[in-house]
Amino acid sequence: MRNSFNTAGFSEVVHEIRNDPAEAAFLYSAEACSSPYRGLSAKIGPALFGTVKSARRFSVELRDVAPDGPGPDGPLPMHLALTGIASCALTTLVGGGSAQSVVFESADMDIAWDGGAVTSRIDVGGVPDDATVAELVGQVERFSPNYTTLTRPVPVALRYGPDAAPASAGTAEGAPPTGRPAACRVRWISGTQLASAPLDPEPGEELRVDAPKQLTGVDWGPNPQEYLLMGLAADVASHLGRCARELTGRALPWRVVVRGTEDVGGLLQADPSAVVQLQDMRCTVPDASGLSGAELEKAVAAAWAASEVRYLIEAAPAVRLSSHRVESCPA
Amino acid sequence: MAKESRTAIGFEEGRNDGAKWFGDLTRSRFAGPVTPHHRVLSRDVSPETLAVHAGTYEDPVTGAVGTPVFQTSTFLLDDASYAAFSDGTSRDVPIYTRYGNPSQWSVQEKIAALEGSRSALVTSSGMSATAGTIYALTNAGSHIVSAYDVYGGTYNLLREDMPSAGREVTFVDPCDLDAVRAAIRPETQLLFFETLTNPLLKAPSVRGLAEIAREANALLVVDNTFLTPVNMRPLEHGADVVVHSATKYLAGHSDLTAGAVVGRRKFLDRIWAQTLRFGGTLEPIAAFLLERGMKTLPLRVREQNANALEVARFLAGHERVAAVHHPELGGPRYADLEYADYRGFGGMVSFEVRGGDVAALEFMKKLRIPYVATSLGGVESLVSMPSNTSHSSLTARQRSRIGINPGLVRFSVGIENVRDLVRDLDEALGAPDEEDMR
């Protein structure tokens, strides 16, 4: 297969959802836990691709976002979010290029968050001319679900407490207090498989990205949307642990569940009117941890306001994307 | 032969070199794969006609009436082959027999037609079909619900291979829909049941199972080996995928080993890819034998339905028989059975010989017509005991729990004259002695 990308499989999805739009509704979920004893972790939940379920088991152990948190013992939640955005951009680029018979030698994306803006750069190898690169990157800017989730404001509904009641904190505005800058380099490997490595001064473990096998992948890792959702869940969970501790003096475990939908007709342009970016984003904090209602509301509001990943999704921060064509290596 | 005619119908329409984005691509899922030379009939045609004619390869060179045997491992490469490799459509061009062969496509079309589907896949055995299906349709991290008395080979696959493959399995009574529903988890991805169970002939509600699967966004896969499409088309009752041990009724002559999977190409293409990686290819000569055997499937199965019922009725009245399992004899197990969903129940009868396994073994030795052999569904009657064959891997307690009691005999009734079979059974059972009757 060209670029190991199953173009025929995506073509079949295009025609399937034109016949049955319900098959275009993709649902993703992720969950994060912040524990004073077991640290910060995130995992994905079962995904639904139209009428087909994909239940994979992937989890990531993370570094706490607090400035005084532990050192280089895992990625930050922001690394997961950036990995989700960049891997979606590269999958869109390679997939779209494969559809028009482009053969790639390489495709990498560096992406960095400095606390207020995102800077990114795509390097493409094997593509014959700059015009093709520009066209492909333009398609990423328009059709990549996660990249457009970054560049367009996407509201996230916040619910908390035993009844999962809607929270007014879901309307938090303005840039969050600056946390740790984060950057990673995402490298396209083959087909829908990519690897992401933190670009922080300290080395970090590579994160694997892949489409589920229901969508032509091989289950090598979570998919880009799931990384973005895990990043959000973990960021909120981490801040909840810190904020609750500052407010009440108690170190408590927290669980945060995030879900979101994608109309894949937007990515594939099976339906030009379809929304490309993620939709129906919802973040739920189901565990009240024994706090009073007022304490819980304050902790949730503070964590929500402090979450940089939440800001990334909701606020459409400044984004700079550049691209570069890498000359082919001589044979 | 023109090159266009050797590719599957729909393949050329799916080639598009001018696409600029996914939305410009032109390949959609279609029936088959079949070439223009394979006979495709409307699914409204009667099973007898479909069995004879569906899928026949009408050879444009020789005019052969029967499907030729494409006994080759490989095929000439051409532009279509290269396009198939490049686009990921190698199921639709004869390239290499492990990927596909017109002999396989012929019998696949016949099976698909009989099951009322547009696509089928044949494999090297029933277990190859089952394993390929389960692996292809589930992910590591998923959960499967199946029956605790499912066929031994399937049970072993689910119990011994799934944990190390990252799938968890819950076993339940297939007729207890409340138990099935209670077993569902968020990660439940597949329900695997048999339309008629082996060896106790339980008949779970396929409609009920399909409803539970739909509510859970899970897939319902059913093994329809015992009923065959002649007696039930499970896809019409809500099943997503049907598997067969084609070794049994579909082939019908106990002369080959094969499996089949039927359903939408959305699922079958993934099962095909899994099966070719596992190496579960059906040899062209076996595909030919299967296609030829299936021409008489409706005739054979109707005869076996009738013969088995008569045998069951005879056994039910015999004093050396403690219990007989057959849906048409009724009883509490079949109280909720929707008989209108079935056109028959096949050739299987299970019964318990008084006196336990020793008496059952003695009885089988005295039979003169049926062969004492495992397997089922052939034209010849076969008889065996589950306790020392298909279910021998279970402990005595496990066998007892699922209803395989001492003395249980599984009788696969063939198409012999049923009067001969009944006389033979009567003589082999003989008069009861005092010890047996206790």
Domain spans of chain B? 3-294, 297-429
Name the residue type at position B311: V
In this prediction, residue B2 carries a pLDDT of: 47
* CA dihedral (B287, B293, B295, B300) positive or negative: negative
Sort residue B166 into left (φ over 0), alpha (ψ -120 to 50) or beta: left
Per-residue pLDDT of chain B (438 residues; tens, 9 = 90+): 444 588 998 888 888 778 888 888 888 888 889 999 999 999 999 999 999 999 999 999 999 999 999 999 999 999 999 999 988 899 999 999 999 999 999 999 999 999 999 999 999 999 999 999 999 999 999 999 999 989 989 999 999 999 999 999 999 999 999 999 999 999 999 999 999 998 999 999 999 999 999 999 999 999 999 999 999 999 999 999 999 999 999 999 999 999 999 999 999 999 999 999 999 999 999 999 999 999 999 999 999 999 999 999 999 999 999 999 999 999 888 988 999 999 999 999 999 999 999 999 999 999 999 999 999 999 999 999 998 888 887 788 888 888 899 999 999 999 999 999 999 999 999 865 555 554
Parallel/antiparallel/unpaired status of strands B188-194 and B143-147: parallel
| A23 half-sphere exposure, CB direction, 13 A CA radius | 16
In this prediction, residue B16 carries a pLDDT of: 78
In this prediction, residue A101 carries a pLDDT of: 87
Q: Which residues of A touch B216 (CB under 8 A)?
A: 53
Q: Which residues of B touch A12 (CB under 8 A)?
A: 27-29, 266
CB within 8 A of A159, min separation 6: which ones?
A165, A166, A167, A282, A283, A284, A285
- Does the pLDDT value for residue A331 go beyond 60? no
**Structural domains of chain A, ranges and CATH numbers in brackets:** 2-326 (3.30.300.20)
Parallel/antiparallel/unpaired status of strands B382-384 and B408-412: antiparallel
Domains B3-294 and B297-429 share a fold: no
Q: Which residues of A touch B19 (CB under 8 A)?
A: 99-101
More confident residue, A230 or A74: A230
In this prediction, residue B182 carries a pLDDT of: 98
Distance between CA atoms of residues B35 and B57, nearest Å: 9
CB within 8 A of B164, min separation 6: which ones?
none
CATH architecture entry for B297-429:
Alpha-Beta Complex (3.90)
Measured between alpha carbons, how far apart are the two ends of chain A, in Å? 22
Parallel/antiparallel/unpaired status of strands B371-372 and B382-384: parallel
Nearest chain A residue (CA) to B18: A100
Any A CB within 8 A of B388 CB: no
Is residue B126 packed enough to be buried (19+ CB in 10 Å), middle (13-18) or exposed (0-12)?
A: buried
Residue B281 has φ and ψ, to the nearest 5°, of: -75, 140
pLDDT in tens, A174-216: 666 666 788 999 999 999 999 999 887 666 789 999 999 999 9
More confident residue, B181 or A249: B181
**Rounded to the nearest 10 degrees, what angle do helices A77-99 and A130-143 cross at?**
120
Distances (CA, A) of A51 to A16, A22, B82, B167, B261: 12, 8, 33, 20, 20
Most A CBs within 10 Å: which of B11, B15, B16, B22, as the mutation test of the A interface?
A: B22
In this prediction, residue B1 carries a pLDDT of: 46
Residue B307 has a CB neighbour count (10 Å cut-off) of: 22
Q: Which residues of B touch A55 (CB under 8 A)?
A: 138-139, 141-143, 186-189
Lowest mean pLDDT among A15-29, A137-151, B381-395: B381-395
The C-alpha torsion from A141 through A143 and A147 to A151, rounded to 10°, is: 60
- When pLDDT is averaged across residues A54-63 and rounded to a whole number, the result is 94
pLDDT in tens, A60-69: 999 887 666 5
Distance between CA atoms of residues A313 and A58, nearest Å: 23
List b or e across B216-254, with b for residues whose CB sees 16 or more CB atoms inside 10 angstroms: bbbbbbbbbbbbbbbbbbbbebbbbbbbbbbbbbbbbbb
pLDDT in tens, A81-127: 999 999 999 999 999 999 888 999 999 999 999 888 999 999 999 98
CB contact under 8 A, A7 and B26: no
In this prediction, residue A74 carries a pLDDT of: 83
CB within 8 A of A212, min separation 6: which ones?
A47, A49, A54, A56, A219, A223, B139
CB within 8 A of B307, min separation 6: which ones?
B347, B413, B414, B415, B416, B418, B421
Sort residue B67 into left (φ over 0), alpha (ψ -120 to 50) or beta: beta
Q: Which residues of B touch A8 (CB under 8 A)?
A: 14, 25, 27, 87-89
CATH class of B3-294: alpha beta
CB contact under 8 A, A55 and B189: yes
DSSP assignment of A34-80 equals: EETTTEEEEEE--EEETTEEE----EEEE---STTS--SSS--HHHH
Any A CB within 8 A of B88 CB: yes
Distance between CA atoms of residues B336 and B330, nearest Å: 10
Q: Which of B21, B143, B186 sits opposite A139 (nearest CB)?
A: B21
In this prediction, residue B426 carries a pLDDT of: 96
Q: What's the whole-number average pLDDT of chain A?
A: 90
Any A CB within 8 A of B189 CB: yes
- Please calculate the CA angle B47-B53-B58 and round it to the nearest 5 degrees: 165
Helix (H) or strand (E) holding A278: none
